[in-house]
Amino acid sequence: MAAAAGGWLRSCGKLKRNLPAYLGPWRASPCVFRSSKSELMPNLASDGVVCAPLQTFTEEETMMKNMVTKFAQERVAPLVQKMDENSKMEDSVIQGLFEQGLMSIELGEEYGGTGASFFSVILVVEELAKVDPAVSLLCELQNTLTNKLFTTYGTEEQKRTYLPRVAKDTIGSFCLSEAGSGSDAFSLKTRAEKKGDYYIINGSKMWISLAEHAGVFFVMANTDPSLGYRGITCFIVDRNTEGLHIGKKEDKLGIRASSTCPVTFENVKVPATNILGEVGKGYKHAIGLLNTGRIGIAAQMLGLAQGCFDHTIPYTKERVQFGKSIFDFQGMQHQIAQVATQLEAARLLTYNAARLAETGRPFIKEASMAKYYAAEVATLTTSKCIEWMGGVGFTKNYPIEKYYRDCKIGTIYEGTSNIQLSTIAKSLAQEY
């Protein structure tokens, strides 16, 4: 076979055909993959637990996970169905999240936060999502977007003003998407005109999460459309600013307890001191943060899938048909094992991306992979779980159908699955 190939190649050479490099005589040279990606040598001196499994947690992380599990089971779980039906988050849940310090996990203690690791955030988001992905979203956005925006790009004055508030009782809401710009985020039309010390913002945003309860908004507006996306600037706007209108919340398929509203700006006057970061650098700030946000969403989808799975398997072990539990049928076992394996893979992708981000290593590709895969796995898991539960899975009496409805948003928001795949491909292109 090889000889024939060699003969064919030689004849091609005689014909002086232009062979692409990958069809060259691989038999001749050892298989050297030309990749520009450097092998990440573990720095044994500083990395400490290099050989530990990804599911290794510090003592604090374990305690936090246990606490959140307990909190979620006792304070959130009884209200999940009600919040979903009424499409409204309960005040007691929001308060509980603030009181337990779940809304300021990474924030420094000087601002009223906990000063814990980014990985703790991921664990908390995952645990909350096992009970209610909508509540988990609130926690995730506050920690990975709101808090991070202030701590990364805020001036000392802004941090002093806003961080204690967001740690205590104020929810932040990130306004980027518009009716005409979703994935194409930077073609946004909201305009911010400079008027001396102020900017006047006009425009309307759509699909804004948490707008119903938010106390402070991060508004991405263009200060100079002639510069294209390099005019986009991030403004901090308080809720009660004149001209800011929060529209009627959307009636959604899933994560209904988390409000999603259109927000309009009619001559909203914002002082220049409320610019977050630099003028014209808004797009850069947004992209930077949305990368870590992706890991948070991956954790949410992971928790969603796991929670759904945890509800289903005990049922399959109890339900008896044809004289044995449906779990005992080999067909079922194989399906269940496949789903469990994919769940584990999604978990490891997410945990690893979180650890990469924590240690300051490049993580954009891994974060995209984690978000994309976790969302897909969540869709598959919830779909299968409904099938395994049979008729009861289809009714609202059981929590399974809610997970099925909730998971769909995972492939859509914070970067659609297609965008994630493009991002991964872009990273790969740079490696080879």
Smallest gap, in angstroms, from Cβ of residue 74 to another protein?
A: 8
Say whether residue 122 binds another protein (CB under 8 A).
Answer: no
Degrees to nearest 5, angle at CA 219 with 214 and 225: 165
Smallest gap, in angstroms, from Cβ of residue 75 to another protein?
A: 8
Stretch that binds another protein, among 67-75, 304-312, 355-363, 381-389 (CB under 8 A): 67-75
Answer for which of 102, 176, 192, 409 binds another protein (CB under 8 A) is 102
Stretch that binds another protein, among 59-67, 147-155, 221-229, 415-423 (CB under 8 A): 59-67
Say whether residue 60 binds another protein (CB under 8 A).
Answer: yes
Measured distance CA(365)–CA(347) in Å, rounded:
16
Of 169, 170, 150, 146, the closest CA to residue 160 belongs to: 150
Answer for which of 105, 297, 298, 367 binds another protein (CB under 8 A) is 105
| Distance between first and last Cα of the chain | 29
Catalytic, 127? Answer no
- Closest CB to another protein among 67 and 279? 67
DSSP H helices in 77-155: 80-86, 91-99, 118-131, 133-141, 148-153
Answer for which of 16, 44, 50, 59 binds another protein (CB under 8 A) is 59
- Closest CB to another protein among 99 and 238? 99
Sequence-distant (6+) residues with CB within 8 A of 251 are: 87
Q: Residue 203 region, left (φ>0) first, then alpha (ψ -120 to 50), else beta?
A: left
Classified as helix, coil or strand, 214 is coil
| DSSP states along 140-176 | HHIIIIIIHHHHHH--HHHHHHHHHHHHHT--EEEE-
What the block records as the tokens of 104 is 């300021």
- Closest CB to another protein among 106 and 376? 106
- The answer to whether the CB of 346 falls within 8 A of the CB of 166 is no
Site size toward another protein (CB under 8 A) is 20
Say whether residue 147 binds another protein (CB under 8 A).
Answer: no
Say whether residue 118 binds another protein (CB under 8 A).
Answer: no
- Closest CB to another protein among 60 and 184? 60
Say whether residue 320 binds another protein (CB under 8 A).
Answer: no
Active site residue ranges = 414
Residues near another protein, by CB under 8 A = 59-60, 62-64, 66-67, 70-71, 99-102, 105, 109, 113-116, 120
